[in-house]
Structure 1
């Protein structure tokens, strides 16, 4: 009997994984989104490919055959690493596959916020030609851009910024000055970066930007968060935007996801919002599904998969 594999939610381009796994496994693609993957869906599976659904201890209570929880993405905060590790289950992710796509979103966000495309669009739809004097924006060229985190995405943002001739500041304690110099980036403290930058874009797994940090930014600054929702204090950001302590924000990730209606930030005009879709391109989904499926095949064939995130826990 062929090993069973579950794709725990109706992910885009799931058919890519089904095609690759043909002949290796029997694949079930869930037709519904489960916030928490039920134990009965996991039962009998050798691998589960999971997107935004949670895998917790209850999900694993009948997972006697499970060898791999493969994250369709990077962040594994929705997966109970300790419970998986105790059962000898690999937890893997696919880092780097979305770097170009998120970086392109960030560059677009910089330009659209400096020029306020949102207001331009609304004015055009109202045929409000008399609003043109209020729609004078700023050019990106010559600005000072602060990048918090020089991982794959942060470095890709640096690369895409080259033609705009901006000055790039960066804060990342894990990056040596030699790499920074090769990228043409000036390494500074977080405090200096926030204080000096015209645009601040976040590319770290977790740090904290609260009221003090946000209020230390320029009143003309733009803040972009495509990393993790809890990094930015949403209440403090709302107050800063409403009171004009910073000019604009572009937010793709949220402290609580899925995003619920009624968030006060929706009332503001000086924000551009999206629903954790900065990396959502057809190219990312196809490549991610291919990598997930290939990792499943490694486990089926008795090999260790790539990008295991819970190795230290499995050893302890």
Structure 2
């Protein structure tokens, strides 16, 4: 098969695919406007953050499959692909540990003011009195929203820090998820998101981008959270009402650890003007949750598995059509 990689991909994985007889081309510097001009000759497109528009999909005259090297597929026009019989597949769960590590890292950074500590030292300033203010994590109430692979990994790590953990009760929860919650132990259940916000000092969100999750972190939810509460979001930027979060940070001292933002660029290095990202109560990162060598190797392995299956006439992890 002719495979185009429009984002960075491990060289060892590309070499393995070439050894299997595939024609692989890496063009990680392609932008959204250039993709449609090169896609016509390829059977498979593999992307990470590159947006795949209807225009690009229609230009892919030979295109049969688009693989998102990760979980979320909100940057791909899945309906346009389905209309042309093109499979959109993802690689769920392989980067869960990396994203969970970042979520916990953001939480610790907020509690201990780590970025501000570092900034002061780099400016040649020593201020132990200012930075000796932290609550600590042990025993604090933390709610985890979204119990896919990432949410479960976050729960395991938060449990190790001694946090009091809460999740939303789901009577029809998958048995595998239920069993893992039992193994972690001590997790309390609440009836819904509103109760979770009222009970918890920390909320960590791990949900997909969807109609049901758009702006789920809104003014009403933030009003229910305690003064000085912490919001962690490593999922998608559109689940947060950014204006409401800014207001809550200004009025009640909410703090936020964010790896994702509304309208964030897909390009590697560009200007990004965001009132939320600039807010002093925000510790932000550049949507790097899955950007570890370990995670990328695991995701690459998943991509190879999808391609191997496709070569045999089977479809794995398709998200836009019944297979």
Distance (whole Å) between structure 2 residues aligned to residue 156 and residue 31 of structure 1: 30
Name the residue aligned to 2:189. Answer: 187
Distance (whole Å) between structure 1 residues aligned to residue 65 and residue 37 of structure 2: 16
Equivalent in 71, 93, 99 of residue 90 of structure 2: 93
Identify which range, 77-86 or 138-147, moves more after superposition.
Answer: 77-86
Measured against aligned partners, the alpha-carbon deviations of 1:128-151 in whole angstroms (never above 9, x if no partner) come to 434524531111111111111111
Name the residue aligned to 2:15. Answer: 19
* Alpha-carbon distance change, 232 to 31 in structure 1, aligned in 2, over 3 angstroms: closer
Distance (whole Å) between structure 1 residues aligned to residue 73 and residue 33 of structure 2: 14
* Alpha-carbon distance change, 280 to 130 in structure 1, aligned in 2, over 3 angstroms: closer
* TM-superposed deviation, 1:181: 4.3
Name the residue aligned to 1:39. Answer: 36
* TM-superposed deviation, 1:38: 3.0
Distance (whole Å) between structure 2 residues aligned to residue 37 and residue 74 of structure 1: 24
Residue aligned with 2:75, SS: coil
Spell out the pairing of 1:74-223 with structure 2 (5 A cutoff): 74-171=71-168, 173=170, 175=173, 178-179=178-179, 180-184=181-185, 185-188=187-190, 189-206=192-209, 207=213, 208-223=216-231
Does the aligned pair in 2 maintain the 1:36–1:56 contact within 8 Å?
Answer: no
* TM-superposed deviation, 1:113: 0.8
* TM-superposed deviation, 1:163: 2.3
Paired residues, number: 307
* Alpha-carbon distance change, 67 to 126 in structure 1, aligned in 2, over 3 angstroms: closer
Asked whether 1:48 is paired with 2:51, we answer no
Distance (whole Å) between structure 2 residues aligned to residue 211 and residue 101 of structure 1: 30
* TM-superposed deviation, 1:72: 1.2
Residue aligned with 1:59, SS: helix
Distance (whole Å) between structure 2 residues aligned to residue 194 and residue 97 of structure 1: 29
Identify which range, 150-159 or 168-177, moves more after superposition.
Answer: 168-177
Residue aligned with 2:225, SS: coil
* Alpha-carbon distance change, 5 to 186 in structure 1, aligned in 2, over 3 angstroms: same
Does the aligned pair in 1 maintain the 2:264–2:272 contact within 8 Å?
Answer: no
Identify which range, 55-64 or 270-279, moves more after superposition.
Answer: 55-64
Output the TM-score relative to the length of structure 2.
Answer: 0.87
Name the residue aligned to 2:289. Answer: 278
- Please list every run of 5 or more consecutive structure 2 residues that lacks an aligned counterpart in the other structure: none
* Alpha-carbon distance change, 266 to 49 in structure 1, aligned in 2, over 3 angstroms: closer
Residue aligned with 1:70, SS: strand
Asked whether 1:309 is paired with 2:312, we answer no
Distance (whole Å) between structure 2 residues aligned to residue 70 and residue 178 of structure 1: 30
Does the aligned pair in 1 maintain the 2:63–2:86 contact within 8 Å?
Answer: yes
Asked whether 1:248 is paired with 2:264, we answer no
* Alpha-carbon distance change, 133 to 59 in structure 1, aligned in 2, over 3 angstroms: closer
* TM-superposed deviation, 1:36: 4.7
Does the aligned pair in 1 maintain the 2:39–2:60 contact within 8 Å?
Answer: yes
Does the aligned pair in 1 maintain the 2:117–2:131 contact within 8 Å?
Answer: no
Name the residue aligned to 1:290. Answer: 301
Measured against aligned partners, the alpha-carbon deviations of 1:6-43 in whole angstroms (never above 9, x if no partner) come to 1123x142x23321111421111115232256333221
* Alpha-carbon distance change, 247 to 77 in structure 1, aligned in 2, over 3 angstroms: closer
Residue aligned with 2:194, SS: helix
Residue aligned with 2:58, SS: coil
Distance (whole Å) between structure 1 residues aligned to residue 226 and residue 139 of structure 2: 16
